[in-house]
Structure 1
Amino acid sequence: MAQKTMAVLGTGVIGNGWIARFLANGHKVNAFDPAPDAKEKTEKMIDAIWTTLEEYGISNEAAKENLTFYNELEEAVKEADLIQENVPEQEALKKKVLAQVDAAAKPTAIIASSTSGYMPSVLQEDCVHHPERIIVAHPFNPVYLIPLVEIAGGKQTERSYMEKAEELYESMHMKPLVMKGEIDGHIGDRLMEAIWREGLHIVNDGVATTEEVDKAIVYGPGLRWALMGPFLTLHLAGGKDGMRHMLEQFGPALKLPWTRLVAPELTEELSEKVISGTAEQSGEISIDDLEHRRDRFLIKLMGLLEEEGFWPAERLISYDRK
């Protein structure tokens, strides 16, 4: 795809992740963040991960010099083909910023929110110019490596903008999941929150430490989920009759009190268990080093997933046994 101009509003972890992915794919990036040290932090982050991006694979047109910071939001967005909003998860703030963008952006631009929770119908309520191009495009950290982006439209969104967004994200080696509707928290975060709540109960009840909960995922279901996801994994659990037998055999267990999906009270005691537990897990290793280790692992894992057919993983290719 030809070089485009992307605007990134808010340069925290997610915003900077988008900047890195856009730059790696050869696009120009206009960034805006009112924090006085935003430009310095972003440039430092891009410098730190550029080698990782090169290892993963970058466009021939990729250049750190394609990044420009602007002092005014309107200047950053007025020529952009895609505006990616990443301001803090506060409904009023997001609606205010998106309304500003709607007024300043060219009519053909896609306006996408990275929100992890809000529905697009809510976010487009104050957009009076072209609300039909407001969508949610929710990524996963680190955005510059994790390919999934959940795309959702609101009540006023035109399908054509979702299709344009899908094509654009796909051209940047992402795996767009276009949702059939809209729900708070979208899909991925709702699933992660369910496991997170259950994990908090297990730690709170003294059944396991944070490290043991992580081990239970990493060396168990996480290995299978990386390729097949929860449904196809359980399909295999049913033997030759697949999901039909699995539901007959284990369906009644859904009525048992195995899970406690309502989150526990986040007391000072529970908070300390979680904080001290994860601190003990990471030991003397810095966050930067943990991120580099994560990124190296993800690149290797995604290479393996590509070999196995990868997307969508549920529609598996026949395994070549030669």
Structure 2
Amino acid sequence: MRSGDSVRTLGVVGTGAIGVSWVVLGLQHGLDVVAWDPADGAEERLRAQVPEGGLRFADGLEEVGAAADLVLESGPERLDVKREIFAALDEAAPADVLLTSSSSGLMPSTFQDACAHHPERVLVAHPFNPPHLVPLVEVVGGAATKPEAIEAALDTLRHLGKRPIHIRREVPGHVANRLQAALWREAYHLVDQGIVSVADIDTAIADGPGLRWSLLGPFATQHLSGGPGGLGHVLEHLGPPMVEWWDDLGHPELTAGLVEKLVDGVDEEFDGTSAEDLVARRDQALRRLLEIKTDLGLG
């Protein structure tokens, strides 16, 4: 499988928010990028966001597959669409070219069998938005994926400055999204029950545990909170009450009423703040945070 510095041309299928960010990442690392998206005006929108050289907009999927050393697919989160895309890419791409999907929750076994030639090189490489800044990528193989494909994906992503993790068994939503979903479930429940506001939930995480989690993960953070006894001390003394909290966690239904309450809460929290401006400041802060983590050996 082509990997690491043998990847010279990056293929990007789908040029929405994730696809554009993949394009930026490739160009930042000096790769040629060939991209394709069937939507009307997609090329114009992409070039307006990425006015750099080294970018070619293809006429179709087959051109991307034939030209790329690595393909990153970021199309709609629909299984029927994924199967069509990967069947076409598999037809066009050389056998040693990895075909990866950015799917946030679909399992690769559900679409790699649409590839008649080389399903063994198909896997999920799920990034976090925006991929050109956030280091995490979840690598998930399917039933037909060969270990060599997994290793090639991990190697290439590290070469591109990412922090990939290998998800060893397929589960819906992979890992990070499942962790997020667990938090969101309780957050929605607390808002639904009138216990706290949407804005205060955001404050509770952004100005509380989220600060520590952005530096060290939940296990490492919990270990440090245990003093000399570490995680063992924490689980011995705080484990039993934590189990009681688990039993008390909510199971909200995403009703129209709850959706309205959540949306209204976010609107109130933003209070006219420009989302575009907030995204720009968030990305600036992400860059600074990543620099600090690197300088301190935490990244």
TM-score by length of 1: 0.87
State which of 54, 57, 78 in structure 1 corresponds to 2:66.
Answer: 78
Could you report, residue by residue, the CA deviation over 1:122-175 in whole angstroms, capped at 9, with x for unpaired residues? 221211200110011000001110011111111111111111111211111111
**Separation (CA, whole Å) in 1 of partners of 2:48 and 2:248:** 42
Q: Which residue of 2 aligns with 1:247?
A: 235
**Separation (CA, whole Å) in 1 of partners of 2:122 and 2:209:** 36
Following superposition, the deviation at residue 263 of structure 1 comes to 4.7
**Separation (CA, whole Å) in 1 of partners of 2:213 and 2:247:** 19
Q: Which residue of 2 aligns with 1:231?
A: 219
Change (3 A) 1:2 1:110: closer
Q: Which residue of 2 aligns with 1:138?
A: 126
Following superposition, the deviation at residue 222 of structure 1 comes to 0.7
Q: Give 5+ residue unaligned stretches, structure 2.
A: none
- Root-mean-square deviation (CA, aligned residues, Å) is 1.6
Percent identity of the aligned residues?
41
**Separation (CA, whole Å) in 2 of partners of 1:155 and 1:261:** 34
Q: Secondary structure at the match of 2:67?
A: coil
**Superposition pairs of residues 1-322 of structure 1, within 5 angstroms:** 1=5, 4-47=8-51, 64-258=52-246, 263-311=251-299
Q: Name the aligned partner's letter for residue 44 of structure 1.
A: A
Q: How many residues align?
A: 295
Following superposition, the deviation at residue 280 of structure 1 comes to 2.2
Q: Secondary structure at the match of 1:201?
A: helix
Q: Which moved more, 1:209-218 or 1:154-163?
A: 154-163
Preserved CA contact (<8 Å) 2:107 2:171:
yes
Could you report, residue by residue, the CA deviation over 1:199-250 in whole angstroms, capped at 9, with x for unpaired residues? 1111111111111001000111011111111111111222211111111111
Preserved CA contact (<8 Å) 2:65 2:90:
no
Following superposition, the deviation at residue 262 of structure 1 comes to 6.4
Change (3 A) 1:265 1:178: same
TM-score by length of 2: 0.94
Q: Name the aligned partner's letter for residue 32 of structure 2.
A: K
**Separation (CA, whole Å) in 2 of partners of 1:106 and 1:79:** 9
Q: Name the aligned partner's letter for residue 209 of structure 2.
A: P
**Separation (CA, whole Å) in 1 of partners of 2:210 and 2:271:** 23
Q: Name the aligned partner's letter for residue 39 of structure 1.
A: E
Preserved CA contact (<8 Å) 1:150 1:178:
yes
**Separation (CA, whole Å) in 2 of partners of 1:148 and 1:186:** 13
**Separation (CA, whole Å) in 1 of partners of 2:240 and 2:38:** 54
